[in-house]
A and B are shown apart, each in its own frame.
Chain A
Amino acid sequence: MNTYMKNESNVAMKLHYDISKDDFSRAGEASSKIKNMLRQLAIEANILRRIAIATYEAEINLVIHSLGGTIDVYIKPDCIEIYVEDVGPGIENIELAMTKGFSTATAVAREMGFGAGMGLPNMEKVSDEFIIESTIGVGTQIKMVVTY
């Protein structure tokens, strides 16, 4: 299995976003900015949609589960790479976390309509390559690649 590592070759443009924990009112803003920027590039509609889903779910996860994190988007000639890194509790059982409907979201997050347990499964579904690594008590790192 591949390990999480940023691939710095052939990057045409980098986008960087800091995401704060529990900032529900701003949740979705970074992914919306990413979407609107990519809309202006000549990227096909369904690819754009997949990237939008991947970044949105990642952003929401950072807000509800982490102590804060970052989203980096590498725009390359043949693909988009999305790197999500956080400081946080880490994921105890990744296999379980990848199961549809499984969620450890708090009651508060659920009340706001988040925590349906579809975040990670959706991210994997829309990615051509998906790598997740997590260390308990340290944080989680995810790499997603969407190829044109």
Chain B
Amino acid sequence: MREYWHSVVLEKDYCNGCTHCLDRCPTQAIRIIDGKARIIQDRCIDCGECLRVCPYHAKGALVSSIDTLNNYKYTVALPSISFYGQFSEEYDTNKVYNALLKLGFDEVYDTAHAAEILAVYEKAMVEKEHYNKPLISTYCPVITRLIQIKYPALIDHIIKLEAPMEIAARHVRKRLIQEGYTSDEIGIIYISPCPAKITSIKNPIGIDKSSIDEAVSTEEIYYKVMKIIDKVTDIKPIQCSTGKGIGWARVGGQSYAMEIDDYIAVDGIDEVIKVLESMEIGKLNSLDFFEGYACVNGCVGGPLNVENTFIGKNRVRKLTKKYGMDEPVTIDIELIPENMEWDTPIKPMPIFKLDTDFKRALEKMAKIEEYTQILPGINCGACGAPNCRVLAEDIVSGNAKLEDCVLLKNQPKG
């Protein structure tokens, strides 16, 4: 298996070993060892919860900086759809996009336009008779990873479609190559609201290689744009999405754009987990579609965004009205599988399995039960594991000792 690259990283100098992130991590991927948090790479799904909750800002996301523009002959900016929600109303989105040109990008492509085209293709797929309803959106890569590691029985429900950014990047790259650029000369740069999107560029699911070259953070670009936006005078028409594409920035927007009825749109990783648990036991089979987001309110809540998620959501709502939900969508990307779909299978990554051998797994399980009985069960986190049960698992897998339990160690002997 190839090394799994992650965007979420720990900046050790800032970490003081507190337990905020331990408890928040939905896949129990964090341990505190020698006073510093560590991320177990196999378990991390890049949701960014730890990044959000860390009071010392010791968690970060690996991103490129805008200097990377110098590495390419021709650069294209793909602003995330939630970029729409970052700027106050006085700054027209088209002006913001023109500011990106002034920052040094040679071209800006409105990712929301790719989303509204995708919605047309996706609607046709959802409306087909399908045995594995509800179909699950792949738009939030955290959810797809979560299903791979924890809910493999739901893999067949995943609708194997690209994210808008990837569709846009494929389309633009194809055009530039026709215009005579070599692939190395083209730099397609995503402006990302979250670490998970960055990981999905470096480590894509469903395809071998992303058409996007690098990602920069919305945060970095936002402040650079704000410095120069009042000086932007040369205005080219770039913004081209209707409200249907823009709406993808917030939870539910994807289903609105498809104009389907039987769907649920769920935001916040804990709520998504609850829904996946019931979907796994067949409780939601009457639904056609499920869109789930790790972040509250969807992509506008991304940890690399600047604006408060609720303010961002409100702006997006207004912008969908401004650009119109009933405007005709210009289909200028051909609606064929090679433009829209994933071509490699999604594999389960069952990281919670104790052992690949059933008998050995059972033996380990029995030992974990034993240790769980011995441990105090107050889940204090002082040992460095998120709770007593996980410490028991770590002991059995040889990664911790019973003496790591602070309470047991301080118990009076006899």
**Interface range on chain B (Cβ under 8 Å from partner):** 20 to 34
Assembly CA distance A53 to B355 (angstroms): 24
A45 in contact with B152 given A40-B361, A52-B281 (CB within 8 Å): yes
Assembly CA distance A119 to B355 (angstroms): 33
Say yes or no: is A107 at the interface (Cβ < 8 Å to chain B). Answer: no
Say yes or no: is B201 at the interface (Cβ < 8 Å to chain A). Answer: no
- Per-position binary interface string of chain A over residues 10-36, scored 1 when its CB falls under 8 Å from any chain B CB and 0 otherwise: 001100000000000000000110010
Assembly CA distance A96 to B20 (angstroms): 53
Query: Which residues does chain B contribute within 8 Å of A49, judged by CB atoms?
Result: 153, 280-282
Residue in B153, B353, B359 whose CB lies within 8 Å of A40: B353
**B282 A13 Cβ-Cβ under 8 A:** no
Say yes or no: is A122 at the interface (Cβ < 8 Å to chain B). Answer: yes
Total A residues in contact with B, Cβ cutoff 8 Å = 21
Query: Which residues does chain A contribute within 8 Å of B355, judged by CB atoms?
Result: 42
By beta carbon, the residue of chain B nearest A48 is B153
**B365 A42 Cβ-Cβ under 8 A:** no
Residues of A within 8 A of B (CB): 12-13, 31-32, 35, 37, 39-43, 45-46, 48-49, 52-53, 56, 75, 77, 122
- Per-position binary interface string of chain B over residues 253-295, scored 1 when its CB falls under 8 Å from any chain A CB and 0 otherwise: 0000000000000000000000001001110000000000000
Query: Which residues does chain A contribute within 8 Å of B352, judged by CB atoms?
Result: 39-40
Query: Which residues does chain A contribute within 8 Å of B277, judged by CB atoms?
Result: 32, 35
Query: Which residues does chain B contribute within 8 Å of A31, judged by CB atoms?
Result: 281
Query: Which residues does chain B contribute within 8 Å of A56, judged by CB atoms?
Result: 281
A40 in contact with B354 given A45-B348, A52-B280 (CB within 8 Å): yes
Q: Can you list 28 A-B pairs with a CB-CB distance of less than 8 A?
A: A13-B362, A13-B365, A31-B281, A32-B277, A35-B277, A35-B280, A35-B281, A40-B393, A41-B358, A41-B361, A42-B353, A42-B354, A42-B356, A42-B361, A45-B153, A45-B155, A45-B348, A45-B350, A46-B153, A49-B153, A49-B280, A49-B282, A53-B281, A53-B282, A56-B281, A77-B358, A77-B359, A122-B282
Say yes or no: is B33 at the interface (Cβ < 8 Å to chain A). Answer: no
Say yes or no: is B366 at the interface (Cβ < 8 Å to chain A). Answer: yes
By beta carbon, the residue of chain A nearest B358 is A42
The secondary-structure label for the interface of chain B is: helix
Assembly CA distance A56 to B352 (angstroms): 21
Query: Which residues does chain A contribute within 8 Å of B234, judged by CB atoms?
Result: none
Query: Which residues does chain B contribute within 8 Å of A48, judged by CB atoms?
Result: 153
Say yes or no: is B150 at the interface (Cβ < 8 Å to chain A). Answer: yes
> Which 3 A-B residue pairings sit nearest by Cβ, starting from the closest?
A45-B152, A45-B153, A49-B153
Say yes or no: is B357 at the interface (Cβ < 8 Å to chain A). Answer: yes
Assembly CA distance A35 to B280 (angstroms): 10
By beta carbon, the residue of chain A nearest B151 is A45
Nearest-neighbour CB distance to chain A for B389, whole angstroms, equals 9
Query: Which residues does chain B contribute within 8 Å of A42, judged by CB atoms?
Result: 353-358, 361
Query: Which residues does chain A contribute within 8 Å of B354, judged by CB atoms?
Result: 40-42
Assembly CA distance A32 to B150 (angstroms): 13
Nearest-neighbour CB distance to chain B for A123, whole angstroms, equals 12
**B365 A37 Cβ-Cβ under 8 A:** yes
Assembly CA distance A77 to B358 (angstroms): 8
Nearest-neighbour CB distance to chain B for A11, whole angstroms, equals 11
A41 in contact with B153 given A12-B362, A13-B365, A32-B277 (CB within 8 Å): no
Query: Which residues does chain A contribute within 8 Å of B365, judged by CB atoms?
Result: 13, 37, 40-41
**B362 A41 Cβ-Cβ under 8 A:** yes
Query: Which residues does chain B contribute within 8 Å of A32, judged by CB atoms?
Result: 277
Query: Which residues does chain A contribute within 8 Å of B155, judged by CB atoms?
Result: 45
B132-168 interface (Cβ within 8 A of A): 150, 152-153, 155
Assembly CA distance A121 to B280 (angstroms): 17
Interface-central residue, B155, B282, B356, by most chain A CB under 10 Å:
B282
Assembly CA distance A31 to B353 (angstroms): 18
Nearest-neighbour CB distance to chain A for B295, whole angstroms, equals 25
Assembly CA distance A85 to B150 (angstroms): 30
Q: Given A45-B350, A49-B282, output 5 extra A-B contacts at Cβ < 8 Å.
A: A12-B362, A40-B393, A45-B152, A48-B153, A77-B358
Assembly CA distance A48 to B362 (angstroms): 15
Assembly CA distance A140 to B165 (angstroms): 56
Assembly CA distance A46 to B282 (angstroms): 12
Assembly CA distance A56 to B282 (angstroms): 10
By beta carbon, the residue of chain A nearest B359 is A77
